[in-house]
Structure 1
Amino acid sequence: MPFRIALSGLDAASTDLQVTGHNIANAATNGFKQSRAEFADIYANSIQDVSTTSAGRGVRVSRVAQQFSQGNIDFTASNLDLALNGEGFFTLADANGNTSYTRAGAYTVDRDGYVVNHTNDRLQVFAPIGTSGTNFNTGSTTDLQLPTLSGTPSATTSANVAVNLDSSGTATAAATLFDPTVATTYDNSTSTTVYDSLGTAHTMTMYFRQSTVANEWNVYTTVDGNIVTPTTNSTAAPSSAAYPSATVNFDTSGALVTGSGSISATGTLAYNAYPIAGAAPLNMTFDMNNSTQFGSAFAVNNLTQDGYAPGRLSGVDIDNTGVVSARFTNGQSTALGKVALAKFNNPQGLRQLGDTSWAETFTSGNVQMGEAGTSSFGLVQSGGLENSNVDIAEQLVNLITAQRNYQANAQVITTADTVTQTIINIR
């Protein structure tokens, strides 16, 4: 019997050495979680056996328990390198739709634009709802794919125009016709770029001319040098009708008077559709609520518009809540999804698949999907990788302990052999 007990000890110590060696071998594996060998003693007894002098029958490995403690995070130069600071797993799907979970976040892009790991499993995200980039469909996941085509252009539909018109100037004589090529026929001008439905850029210029009526200005607008007619054409003087203009009025405090002249009750100035060859007509509405007429020099305080040209993908950003945004060369940014995280009631019950990934089991409990930074889920660190949680110093001590255990059990066999030999030699 001592031989069997010692053999069980040798087997247990050997398993301990394997587990320790496996931990040490993966000390530099990103996202790796160390394990430890746990043991239980063996007693051969029955319901009638109430002996208090039983010596036991050895030891067995009760389980190899995974340790899901947090590993240190190293920073990298790639935005697609992801680390989790806190609880949770990244969710992956292979070509057959099989789902796995991992803490390793070294991702790249394949030829089709999908974000994948080293085994070509695709990173899963919650798809965006709408274009706001703030709402995501957390009821299902999808593959994260970076756009391989140019960003879609958008035509200019509105602009924000905030200017100060100098009230101390001299009104232009009504008989002087406005001419965009003659600077003396207007007081001030400003330009910006607008875009048609194909993303082609056009130069839009606004000309401001002080009317002979107090606190009133005529606004002429051109696109590529061609006049654009306001929806409400309130040209002040018949002699200037060669170029239709909008009328803008201010009160005695210099504030814009809404609902008068060409300005609507909401403070906007609308224009008739401007035809563009090969593209949809350009429809523009200007918000002029913040325009003023003070006794100071002409100033453009704000002049922005909402159109943009097509663009190429220039980069990818992932914030700490897992929102993946694509940046384009036209200055636009689009949300592609939100990194889908998973957690389990009993992560130690997960089945190891190799390649630093795990699969759900009955023991682990059902997967719980969620978003970074909510509930008990951790935060996503872009440009970082989680190191293995193996402590080399601790493992080397474990190695020595396992070695001593193995030697001690071998000594039990040697001693038992000596005792057996003594019995054999009795005459």
Structure 2
Amino acid sequence: MSFQQGLSGLSAASQSLEAIGHNVANANTIGFKQSQIQFADIYAGTLIGSGGNQIGIGTQVSRVAQLFSQGNISKSDNPLDMAISGNGFFRMSTGGAITYTRNGQFTLSKEGYIENAAGARLTGYMADANGVIAIGAPGELVINKADLSPEASTEYELKLTLDSRKGNLVSADFNPDDPATFSDSTSAPVYDSLGNVHTLRTFYVKTGAGTWDVYATNDGVPVPTGSTPEGLIGNMTFNNGGVLTSVSTMDVPMVVTTGAATPYTITIDQAGTQQFAQDFGVSRQLPNGFAAGTLVDFSVSSNGEIVGRYSNGQTNLLGQVILANFANPNGLQNRGDNQWVETSESGVPMVSTPGSSGLGAVQSSRVEESNVDLTAELVNMITAQRYYQANAQTIKTQDQILQTLVNLR
């Protein structure tokens, strides 16, 4: 009598229970991908006889496949946590050894590297001091915590609505301290090369129907333009419809005594300014430049860009996360700690930025949960248990038959 079928069934059922147990144990493991046992039947080789008369000798495990289906994405309070919505793996480096993972639970090391619990560092493209991504060979991402250097103001975009009902004034009488000598004014903060803030105030003096002179002061002092009175930087002309038809170049010479570069020039762009019979108003006021700033926090966008936010209100690109995908993810070798390595079966990694080349998007402050369906696994456990019992019963039955034969006299 043959016990082979029953023994192979017991072995297969035992391995199935091991896979199910592994899945159940990792039901709460972030980024975990469940395993699935796949079986194949066994037939003894023979050179004679009809195929229809063959009786199999049991079963065997053909492979343990991992199911890379999308897990649920849940919210996290850690801004460094990331989840991949779609295809791809995070590319990690441990002393130069590259692994891949779907677990996006990351922290910041004391050196500024983004790493996981196993100490593997997230890789991507770094940005230079100007926020330009250096696309090339991926490297370990490190957050640059250096202060953001100040930038002197050089341009000032200013769009106004001037009140055509204002009375005409004599431009030569302009005095920034006397509201009776100008029609309207507005001010904005500007910065020198050291990041010191100054107040640039512009004044508008209506000199005739549709004609205006423009003056400027720096911290209350008329800018040195050599005009009489000092501070005249240009003029504007409007047609009968209130549309700006001509405007002189308005370059403001800024003289400062803070140790910064001086003098420096700010060009005011007043294109789009109009003149109507309505109250004076500012519709756009945008000077460039900013003071020095320290890194406050940073976030990760859907395309993997790491954007730093600074105390001066500015943002700067610090780097970009990359993802990798494989022609055959099931060919990856599992190394534990939710990490895989490439093999000849998986093919070479196809590396690109999130959201491109068929790769998924990155979600910040999110994690991808295990794709284990606990209810289904518990049902599979019951099935595997019955399968084990049934195979044990075939061995028991064959043992009884064999005992009967032995007892024949």
Q: What is the CA deviation profile of residues 228-278 of structure 1, one whole-angstrom value per residue up to 9, with x for unaligned ones? A: 235xx6x4xxxxx2524123031433433436xxx13xxxx1133534432
Q: 1:311 to 1:46 in 2, by over 3 A?
A: same
Q: 1:23 to 1:173 in 2, by over 3 A?
A: closer
Determine the C-alpha separation between the residues in 1 that align with 2:221 and 2:180. Answer: 19
Q: What is the CA deviation profile of residues 261-317 of structure 1, one whole-angstrom value per residue up to 9, with x for unaligned ones? A: xx13xxxx1133534432223321110112234444333332220111122323323
Match of 1:97 in 2: 96
Q: 1:69 to 1:173 in 2, by over 3 A?
A: closer
Does residue 109 in structure 1 map to residue 108 in structure 2?
Answer: yes
Are the equivalent residues in 1 in contact too, given 2:27–2:372 (CA < 8 A)? yes
Are the equivalent residues in 2 in contact too, given 1:250–1:293 (CA < 8 A)? no
Q: 1:285 to 1:394 in 2, by over 3 A?
A: same
Determine the C-alpha separation between the residues in 2 that align with 1:327 and 1:277. Answer: 27
Q: What is the CA deviation profile of residues 83-107 of structure 1, one whole-angstrom value per residue up to 9, with x for unaligned ones? A: 222221122112x111111111112
Q: 1:367 to 1:49 in 2, by over 3 A?
A: farther
Does residue 18 in structure 1 map to residue 6 in structure 2?
Answer: no
Q: 1:108 to 1:243 in 2, by over 3 A?
A: same
Does residue 395 in structure 1 map to residue 383 in structure 2?
Answer: no
Match of 1:243 in 2: 230
Q: 1:293 to 1:132 in 2, by over 3 A?
A: farther
Question: Which of these residues, 121, 141, 146, is aligned with residue 144 of structure 1?
Answer: 141
Q: 1:320 to 1:174 in 2, by over 3 A?
A: closer
Q: Which amino acid aligns with 2:215?
A: Y
The correspondence of residues 47-86 of structure 1 with structure 2, limited to 5 A, is 47=47, 52-86=52-86
Deviation at 1:189, TM superposition (A): 2.2
Deviation at 1:49, TM superposition (A): 6.3
Determine the C-alpha separation between the residues in 2 that align with 1:53 and 1:413. Answer: 22
Match of 2:176 in 1: 180
Q: 1:18 to 1:248 in 2, by over 3 A?
A: same
Secondary structure at the aligned position of 1:2 is classed as coil
Q: TM-score, normalised by structure 1?
A: 0.86
Aligned length: 407
Deviation at 1:160, TM superposition (A): 0.9
Determine the C-alpha separation between the residues in 1 that align with 2:159 and 2:171. Answer: 26
Are the equivalent residues in 2 in contact too, given 1:186–1:207 (CA < 8 A)? yes
Are the equivalent residues in 1 in contact too, given 2:254–2:265 (CA < 8 A)? yes
Match of 1:404 in 2: 386
The sequence identity of aligned pairs, in percent, is 39
Determine the C-alpha separation between the residues in 1 that align with 2:88 and 2:153. Answer: 43
Deviation at 1:349, TM superposition (A): 0.9
Any unmatched runs of 5+ in structure 2? none
Match of 1:256 in 2: 244
Determine the C-alpha separation between the residues in 2 that align with 1:173 and 1:398. Answer: 93
Q: Which amino acid aligns with 1:255?
A: V
Does residue 279 in structure 1 map to residue 260 in structure 2?
Answer: yes
Match of 2:319 in 1: 337
Q: Which amino acid aligns with 1:6?
A: G
Secondary structure at the aligned position of 2:274 is classed as coil
Determine the C-alpha separation between the residues in 2 that align with 1:244 and 1:40. Answer: 91
Secondary structure at the aligned position of 2:111 is classed as coil
Q: Which amino acid aligns with 1:270?
A: D
Match of 2:200 in 1: 204
Deviation at 1:129, TM superposition (A): 8.1
Determine the C-alpha separation between the residues in 1 that align with 2:408 and 2:167. Answer: 134
Question: Which of these residues, 361, 366, 388, is aligned with residue 348 of structure 2?
Answer: 366
Are the equivalent residues in 1 in contact too, given 2:147–2:294 (CA < 8 A)? yes
Are the equivalent residues in 1 in contact too, given 2:218–2:254 (CA < 8 A)? no
Cα RMSD for the two superposed structures: 2.6
Match of 1:238 in 2: none
Deviation at 1:328, TM superposition (A): 1.9
Any unmatched runs of 5+ in structure 1? 236-240
Determine the C-alpha separation between the residues in 2 that align with 1:294 and 1:366. Answer: 66
Deviation at 1:175, TM superposition (A): 6.1
Determine the C-alpha separation between the residues in 2 that align with 1:163 and 1:88. Answer: 50
Determine the C-alpha separation between the residues in 2 that align with 1:271 and 1:127. Answer: 38
Determine the C-alpha separation between the residues in 2 that align with 1:304 and 1:373. Answer: 33
Match of 1:227 in 2: 222
Determine the C-alpha separation between the residues in 2 that align with 1:72 and 1:175. Answer: 72
Deviation at 1:185, TM superposition (A): 3.4
Question: Which of these residues, 155, 166, 170, is aligned with residue 169 of structure 1?
Answer: 166
Are the equivalent residues in 1 in contact too, given 2:238–2:274 (CA < 8 A)? no
Q: Which amino acid aligns with 2:395?
A: I
Determine the C-alpha separation between the residues in 1 that align with 2:46 and 2:194. Answer: 86
Deviation at 1:323, TM superposition (A): 2.5
Match of 1:313 in 2: 295
Q: What is the CA deviation profile of residues 165-185 of structure 1, one whole-angstrom value per residue up to 9, with x for unaligned ones? A: 334433444663x43333333
Determine the C-alpha separation between the residues in 1 that align with 2:373 and 2:55. Answer: 36
Match of 1:189 in 2: 185
Are the equivalent residues in 2 in contact too, given 1:250–1:292 (CA < 8 A)? no
Match of 2:32 in 1: 32
Runs of 4+ in 1 over 6 A off after TM superposition: none
Are the equivalent residues in 1 in contact too, given 2:215–2:234 (CA < 8 A)? no
